[in-house]
């Protein structure tokens, strides 16, 4: 068997020497102030074994990683009706581009770009009694961890600087693809993005996608078919306009966030989360991508 | 000399029989409820003579026609600094498309598309003491008519349905090309669009563009060079993605609005305004365009 | 163990009743004349077992499926230098769109869209002694079958009707991303697309992608890392602007062609080829997509 | 009356000191070798008076200026059927972009962008007995000058380097909007672009557009309505993606070419041609634009 701990440590070591790793997201102070040198990996096997290096137990702002979790909840609630309001195709465009949305009459390309995730948030708002509380409970249940919370300061900062998201939400509204009002939907959306989790908690929450829909405690949250579909969306759409590159270099379904986190998984085998706050120009964690590339190369474990 | 009254009457007659004239704008009740059969033309010669047919003295919602007036005020106030925040090229795209704005990093193509006019509104907000009052006074002075006013119901309806304008304003804000806050800028913008004027008042207000910058009362509001530039922008950008068509068929600088109004002019010669509420698919008054085409064909008067 | 033969027969049966299956490609007579009701599936397990239904041993024009084979040969020849001349991102656009190519200065989005495959053909022309013969030999070796040939009539028809490909090749040339002359590159390209293979031969040729780079006869043609990369490209880019849909519904790396063929594979497990000439609006075999969706649903075998 | 000779000399003087004037077109040696410092202006009044400065009697490659002349001939031949195959809207895009053509299904935006001019060439090929000879005769008649000729070396160089035009012609062909074969159409097109004329000859040929359709010898070539339309197209589409800028700064219908020539006119008043080979980034003569801006500012003569 592979010595996973040794592999993680080797990766940690080899990436330590990389100098130019990109820039920490700077559009809100809460992200700008995160030290650039933070680095952590957590690996959880389907068998329950866990391996860690670096800052894997320090909380990070999960940001866009939350889009997979909100998609999951919405998929549970409305099933394939989801696809009446968004598509499942890669966008081939940077993550914040409204052009495609306009060209395609308000139907987002997929649920993992901002406009798609805003429609997912709208669906949750329409279908949950206490949207923010219920969604947080859902994430806590998935990860079996009641310490997971929103970061209100982050959510508020996002609200004050989220002009591009306001533009997207209003454009969706102009096409009739937002049923609740803009402020309410974005309040929910900014909260979901503000959730704080550490790398281990991320692997806990994403266990369900590696385990045919069953979470850590063996509760069935999704059907095998739903899991297959969510994993497919992560693979083709999880990394903004670098989805092809991530599939090509790493070969795992996964999702990144501007907080510098990435979580990825191999069905029936493992989930893995990395954290390194400096981002490449496409908005993905530079060292996180490198770490996962090393990991799948060293272990020869990928979906391909 | 041409018998202008006879020509206007001929045009009125010949257009009376046109059946399929398009649809009245329906996104707000105040526009949707305007009777489709309204039709008026007012012609004012540079010499001061006036000719009218039909409903030329009934007030209409000037809507986008106001963009020329706000551009004029902003040009007075900040001169060529205007062009640091917008371009003067035709957009080649429908009037509400955000795609170009995104592609060109928040610099609107020209001041007569929505995003450009929103930046102009932002400039007026930054430079006028009492923006709405001062702008209304400016329009009243230009037209020498103190009865011109905002329609508060129209402005409020626009605000409640203006998702696309909210999207544009927020996108501009995300690029740093909106200095005041979104709500304030759009409040001003929706008010300027809500101004009610009849065809004669429109020719009064636009007299300045036919008369080298001097208004009806011979006051110099703009330099000859500024007038030339505003007329050029009207010609290349005044009719959404039908600017080429209007130049080709009519051959006059002009501006249309979704209220069904069009105002056009021949420098040193005349200003003319038409009103017919039903719009073609490009958002321009169907019969208004036809009337002006007949007028320049019959009179052989055009800039070309 | 699964009764694969029974599963294939069930699928055959159930799809028999589908009435509206799309249209056979009609831009050249050689494709237009293929009977719409042709239908075949061939499944080959990594263990060497084979299962068939329908017209699986009848030859079809492989068309764009050949792009995976030419990519493979070019990857062998020039390694990662390939990526200096094209990217690996999904295009998010129909297969023949030149817009993206122009926007991105002559660098094709990926090797499986037409413009990318034309650059791959250019690379083969620069690196093979007898390009057409050598490439055909390569395909024959991969499939261990010397009966595989070009269809000269198809190649000639493509040449006479291939205006869009001529447009793409000339556009590439204008950006300096075509080193040989347009006629020579397209002659090669039209020949590679004209190759005739039956479903079994397709699974033979694609065995290498399911078997870590080793072909049927256990010869290593590609490294495991190269196989991973080609499979990733098939998954993210193999179905024009329906790549997301195919990943979502089927969950296998694969490639389609306008001849109605699809070949797909599960690493370490199987390769499968389907043939049904009628295409959906995106240019993929309508029944072939359905058949593969049924297959992965029934067997629960997918990469996700 | 204005002292036109003095004005032209003042302009010549003042532009002499401009240092950074852009780059001479370099894609073919025949253009690249033209000395950057060439500069000429020729002005012809409707009354027949002529004024010149600099190299106004030296021949230049008229290039895209020929598009107005071919449009004129095609308009004569097929009238408004022209508009079944192209539009009259400004493109809002650089002159060689195929994206819009693809987006709009092979209908060029206007006759003055490359793709539109190629369709015009196709129409001439279908309607003239000896296309190249007949067109040259037409230009000679318009200018009353039999010394005007093609430059075969320029035409041949264009052919060898015209990949972008080959791309456009093939794309048009793929949409069925080219009736003759690609080689024949482009042979004609490259010849029309290769015509050599000096500034005075250009003002002679364009006299017709300032004189209601009558040429220098008072022969009626076009109706007043056709002249109006061609002038409108020049104004909205004559300067690639700088049409708005030219209208704004200069305020005259006109057309530029990559040979550094510009010809412009004021209806009922004058035609003017400038030559300065160095181009700005949009492909228009840098000093030619400046010269015309000075001219209309000093004389206060513009259509606006």
Question: Cα(C239)–Cα(A63) distance, rounded to whole angstroms?
Answer: 31
Same domain, yes or no, for D82 and D176?
yes
Same domain, yes or no, for C204 and C214?
yes
| Binary contact (A244, C233; C-beta < 8 A) | yes
Question: Cα(C25)–Cα(C27) distance, rounded to whole angstroms?
Answer: 6
Beta bridge partners of A119: none
Q: How would residue C1 be classed by pLDDT, with cut points 50, 70 and 90? A: confident
Q: What confidence score (pLDDT) does residue D91 get?
A: 84
Contacts of D90 in chain B (CB under 8 A): 89-90, 92, 236, 243-244
Same domain, yes or no, for D168 and D79?
yes
Q: Give the list of residues 6+ apart from residue B257 with CB closer than 8 angstroms, or none.
A: B61, B62, B63, B64, B65, B66, B193
Q: What confidence score (pLDDT) does residue B256 get?
A: 98
Contacts of D100 in chain B (CB under 8 A): 92
Kindly state whether residue D304 falls inside one of the protein's structural domains: no
Q: What does the DSSP assignment read for B60-110?
A: EE-GGGHHHHHHHHHHHHHGGGGGGS---S---S-TT--HHHHHTTT--S-
Which strand (E) or helix (H) includes residue B41?
strand B40-45
Contacts of B91 in chain A (CB under 8 A): none
Contacts of D173 in chain C (CB under 8 A): 163, 166
Question: Cα(C42)–Cα(C203) distance, rounded to whole angstroms?
Answer: 7
Task: Name chain D's partners: 3 or more CB pairs within 8 A.
Answer: B, C
Question: Cα(A143)–Cα(A208) distance, rounded to whole angstroms?
Answer: 9
Q: What confidence score (pLDDT) does residue C94 get?
A: 63
Contacts of C243 in chain A (CB under 8 A): 89-90, 236
Q: Give the list of residues 6+ apart from residue C274 with CB closer than 8 angstroms, or none.
A: C40, C41, C199, C261, C262, C263, C285, C287, C288, C291, C292
- Residue given tokens 């239904």 in the structure block: C53
One pLDDT digit (tens) per residue for chain A, 304 residues: 789 999 999 999 999 988 888 999 999 999 999 999 999 999 999 999 999 999 999 999 999 999 999 999 999 999 999 999 999 999 877 656 888 888 888 999 999 999 999 999 999 999 999 999 999 999 999 999 999 999 999 999 999 999 999 999 999 999 999 999 999 999 999 999 999 999 999 999 999 999 999 999 999 999 999 999 999 999 999 998 899 999 999 999 999 999 999 999 999 999 999 999 999 999 999 999 999 999 999 999 999 9
Angle in degrees, 0-180, between the axes of helices C131-143 and C114-127, rounded to the nearest 10: 110
Contacts of A110 in chain C (CB under 8 A): 244
- Residue given tokens 């007075």 in the structure block: B76
Same domain, yes or no, for D92 and D35?
no
Task: Give the burial string for B257-289 (b: 16+ CB within 10 Å, else e).
Answer: bbbbbbbbbbbebbbbbbbbbbbbebbbbbbbb
Q: What confidence score (pLDDT) does residue B274 get?
A: 98
Same domain, yes or no, for A44 and A72?
no
Kindly state whether residue A108 falls inside one of the protein's structural domains: yes
| Binary contact (C173, D163; C-beta < 8 A) | yes
Of B229, B247, B267, the CB nearest to D236: B247
Of C97, C102, C166, the CB nearest to D97: C102
| Binary contact (C182, D166; C-beta < 8 A) | yes
Domain that holds residue C212: 4-63+196-299
In chain D (304 residues long), the average pLDDT of successive 10-residue segments reads 95 91 92 95 97 98 98 97 96 74 90 96 98 98 97 97 96 97 98 98 98 95 95 95 94 98 98 97 96 96 96
| Binary contact (B171, A164; C-beta < 8 A) | yes
| Binary contact (A164, B170; C-beta < 8 A) | yes
Q: Is A117 left (phi over 0), alpha (psi -120 to 50) or beta?
A: alpha
Q: What is the pLDDT of residues C184-210, one digit of tens each?
A: 999 999 999 999 999 999 999 999 999
Same domain, yes or no, for A127 and A182?
yes
Q: What does the DSSP assignment read for chain A?
A: ---HHHHHHHHHHHHHT-----EE--SSHHHHTS-TT--EEEEEETTS-EEEEESTTS-EE-GGGHHHHHHHHHHHHHGGGGGGS---S---S-TT--HHHHHTTT--S-TTSHHHHHHHHHHHHHH-SSHHHHHHHHHHHHHT-TT-B--HHHHHHHHHH-HHHHHHHHHHHHTT---S-HHHHHHHHHHHHH-EE-HHHHHHHHHHHHTTTB-TT--B-S-HHHHHHHHHHHHHHTTGGGHHHHHHHT-S-EEE-TTSEEEEEETTTEEEEEE--EE-TTSSBHHHHHHHHHHHHHH--S--
Question: Cα(C172)–Cα(C111) distance, rounded to whole angstroms?
Answer: 13
Which strand (E) or helix (H) includes residue B42?
strand B40-45
Q: What confidence score (pLDDT) does residue B99 get?
A: 83
Q: Where does residue C149 rank: exposed (0-12), middle (13-18), buried (19+ CB within 10 A)?
A: middle
Kindly state whether residue A304 falls inside one of the protein's structural domains: no
Contacts of A99 in chain B (CB under 8 A): 98-99, 102-103
| C-beta separation of B7 from B295 below 8 A | yes
Phi/psi of residue C96, each to 5°?
Answer: -105, 15
Cα B217 to Cα B141, B142, B200, B204, B213: the distances in Å are 9, 9, 15, 10, 11
Kindly state whether residue A84 falls inside one of the protein's structural domains: yes
Domains held by chain A: number: 2
Q: What confidence score (pLDDT) does residue A59 get?
A: 98
Query: Could you say which of C176, C193, C210 is where a domain stops?
Result: C193
Query: Could you say which of C193, C209, C225 is where a domain stops?
Result: C193
Kindly state whether residue D83 falls inside one of the protein's structural domains: yes
Q: Which pair of tokens denotes residue C254?
A: 């694969």
Question: Cα(B166)–Cα(D302) distance, rounded to whole angstroms?
Answer: 38
Q: How far is CA A284 from the centre of its chain?
A: 11
Task: Name chain B's partners: 3 or more CB pairs within 8 A.
Answer: A, D
| C-beta separation of B21 from B36 below 8 A | yes
Chain C residues within 8 Å of chain D (Cβ atoms): 97-99, 102-103, 163-164, 166-168, 170-171, 173-174, 182
Q: E-assigned strands of B116-191?
A: none
- Residue given tokens 């636009």 in the structure block: B206
Same domain, yes or no, for D190 and D45?
no
| C-beta separation of A274 from A31 below 8 A | no
Q: What does the DSSP assignment read for C240-258?
A: GGGHHHHHHHT-S-EEE-T
Same domain, yes or no, for D168 and D72?
yes
Same domain, yes or no, for C176 and C86?
yes
| Interface test mutation site (partner C, options A88, A244, A269, max chain C beta carbons within 10 A) | A244
Of C267, C296, C304, the CB nearest to A253: C304
Q: What confidence score (pLDDT) does residue A1 get?
A: 77
| Binary contact (C236, A244; C-beta < 8 A) | yes
Question: Cα(D254)–Cα(D243) distance, rounded to whole angstroms?
Answer: 9
Contacts of A163 in chain B (CB under 8 A): 170-171, 173-174, 182
Among the ranges given (B291-295, C19-23, C25-29, C188-192), the one the predictor scored with the smallest mean pLDDT? C19-23
Query: Could you say which of C161, C193, C225 is where a domain stops?
Result: C193
**Intervals of chain B under pLDDT 70:** 94-96
| C-beta separation of D172 from D178 below 8 A | yes
Q: What confidence score (pLDDT) does residue A279 get?
A: 96
Give the domain CATH number at C150.
3.40.710.10
Kindly state whether residue B189 falls inside one of the protein's structural domains: yes
Kindly state whether residue D50 falls inside one of the protein's structural domains: yes
Of D98, D174, D182, the CB nearest to C102: D98
pLDDT at C104 over 90: no
How many of the other CB atoms lie within 10 Å of CB of D70? 23
Same domain, yes or no, for A75 and A136?
yes
Question: Cα(C235)–Cα(A228) distance, rounded to whole angstroms?
Answer: 14
Of B163, B168, B174, the CB nearest to A173: B163
Interface confidence (ipTM) of the complex: 0.94
| Binary contact (A235, C304; C-beta < 8 A) | yes
Q: What confidence score (pLDDT) does residue D95 get?
A: 54
Kindly state whether residue C220 falls inside one of the protein's structural domains: yes
Same domain, yes or no, for C27 and C132?
no
| Interface test mutation site (partner D, options C96, C163, C164, max chain D beta carbons within 10 A) | C163
Same domain, yes or no, for C93 and C241?
no
| Binary contact (D173, C163; C-beta < 8 A) | yes
């Amino acid at each position: 068997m592979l010595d996973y701990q040794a592999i993680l440590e080797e990766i940690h070591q080899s990436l330590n020497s990389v100098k130019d790793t990109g820039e920490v997201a700077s559009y809100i102070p809460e992200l700008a102030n995160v030290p650039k040198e933070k680095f952590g990996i957590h690996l959880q096997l389907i068998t329950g074994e866990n391996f860690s290096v670096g800052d894997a137990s320090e909380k990070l702002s999960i940001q866009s990683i939350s889009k997979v979790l909100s998609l999951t909840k919405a998929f549970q609630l409305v099933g394939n009706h989801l696809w009446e309001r968004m598509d499942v195709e890669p966008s081939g465009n940077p993550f914040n581009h409204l052009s495609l949305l306009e060209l395609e009459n308000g139907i987002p390309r997929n649920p993992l770009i901002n406009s798609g995730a805003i429609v997912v948030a709208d669906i949750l708002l329409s279908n949950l009694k206490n949207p923010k509380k219920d969604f947080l409970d859902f994430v806590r249940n998935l990860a079996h961890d009641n310490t997971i919370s929103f970061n209100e300061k982050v959510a508020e900062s996002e609200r004050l600087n989220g002009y591009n998201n306001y533009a997207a939400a209003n454009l969706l509204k102009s096409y009739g693809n937002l049923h609740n009002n803009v402020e309410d939907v974005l309040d929910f959306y900014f909260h979901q993005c503000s959730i704080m989790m550490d790398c281990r908690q991320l692997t806990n929450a994403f266990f369900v996608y590696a385990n045919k829909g069953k979470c850590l405690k063996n509760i069935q949250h999704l059907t095998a078919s739903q899991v297959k579909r969510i994993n497919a969306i992560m693979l083709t759409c999880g990394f903004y306009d670098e989805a092809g590159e991530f599939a090509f270099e790493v070969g795992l379904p996964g999702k990144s966030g501007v907080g510098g986190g990435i979580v990825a998984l191999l069905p029936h085998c493992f989930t893995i989360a990395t954290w390194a706050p400096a981002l490449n120009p496409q908005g993905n964690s530079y060292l996180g991508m490198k770490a996962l590339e090393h990991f799948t190369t060293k272990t020869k474990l990928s979906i391909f």
